[in-house]
Structure 1
Amino acid sequence: MTAAARFRSVVLDCPDPRALARFYAGVVGGTPEDDDPEWVVLQVPGGPRLAFQRAPGYAPPEWPRADRNSQQFHLDFDAGTTWEEVEEAERKVLALGAKPLHAEDKEDFRVYADPAGHPFCLCRIGPV
């Protein structure tokens, strides 16, 4: 099938685009392009762009609720092949301001909220 368009960005609404872009730069690398305080772009090294736009009246999603203000989407990040690597990534995202939402050692992922409340996962890469 011929594509109609090419993927460009994932855009997150938030109250403070510069702050959230700095958070994700700490998670995945890159340098935020923040000439406009209403719209900040982060080019993820080796990945897609993340963009952050100011949303007046922003209300964070409620994880794992589906009845109102649901998460709508979340981001998954590969954090390593061992639980030690995942735990190191966890220490880093918590130091950046993430909040744990769900951390079961029996599962291959752990769920956090970024400083604006968007859920994201640190995933353990299993055998391929």
Structure 2
Amino acid sequence: MTLAELGVVVLDCPDPRALAGFYAELLGGTVEADAEGDWVDLTTPDDRALAFQASPGFVAPEWPRADRNAQQFHLDLTVADLDAAEKGVLALGAKPLDTDDRSRGWRVYADPAGHPFCLCAC
């Protein structure tokens, strides 16, 4: 039994519309932005999705250096029950990163290596 299914891969960046446009040109698909342009979705012709999120302090990585700016995206994982999924990921070794607002439809954690991911209620 799995705890979650992959919702969307989200890339943090300084200009979500521009980066979504690049990937739309590369992969094809349709781009939809929120009113502010802080969040942009790309749906590819094969119904796969990428999202792009504004990150004001974004610093590009110095590839292939793993010791500098290594976290460049996070995963949004869709779950049916946030509380049950939270118990499961904590049991697997995840650490909560954002516990201030439990009323939201999403929660933020770090995997055992420190990469952030969100559990999102479907």
**Normalised TM-score (structure 2):** 0.54
- Tell me which of the two structures has the higher relative contact order, counting C-alpha pairs closer than 8 angstroms and 6 or more residues apart: 2
Query: Residue 11 of structure 2 contacts residue 72 of structure 2 at CA under 8 Å; is this kept in 1?
Result: no
Quick check: 1:11 aligned with 2:10?
A: yes
Cα distance in 2 for residues equivalent to 1:62 and 1:47: 31
Structure 1: state its 5+ residue gaps. 74-128
TM-align CA RMSD:
1.7
- Local SS of the residue matching 1:25: helix
Q: Structure 1, residues 30-63: CA drift from partner, whole Å, max 9, x if none? A: 0111133000000122153100000011101110
Which residue number corresponds to residue 22 of structure 1? 21
Query: Residue 65 of structure 1 contacts residue 71 of structure 1 at CA under 8 Å; is this kept in 2?
Result: no
Higher deviation after alignment, 48-57 or 38-47: 38-47
Which residue number corresponds to residue 115 of structure 2? none
CA 1:72–1:33: 2 relative to 1, 3 Å: closer
Query: Residue 31 of structure 1 contacts residue 42 of structure 1 at CA under 8 Å; is this kept in 2?
Result: yes
Percent identical residues: 60
Which residue number corresponds to residue 46 of structure 1? 46
Cα distance in 2 for residues equivalent to 1:72 and 1:41: 17
Which residue number corresponds to residue 63 of structure 1? 63
Cα distance in 2 for residues equivalent to 1:20 and 1:29: 13
Map 1:29-108 → 2, pairs under 5 A: 29-36=28-35, 37-70=37-70
Query: Residue 38 of structure 2 contacts residue 53 of structure 2 at CA under 8 Å; is this kept in 1?
Result: yes
Question: Post-superposition shift, 1:72?
Answer: 5.6
Query: Residue 12 of structure 2 contacts residue 72 of structure 2 at CA under 8 Å; is this kept in 1?
Result: no
Structure 2: state its 5+ residue gaps. 74-122
Query: Residue 13 of structure 1 contacts residue 53 of structure 1 at CA under 8 Å; is this kept in 2?
Result: yes
Could you list the structure 1 runs, at least 4 aligned residues long, displaced by more than 3 angstroms after superposition: none
- Corresponding letter in the other structure for 1:70: A
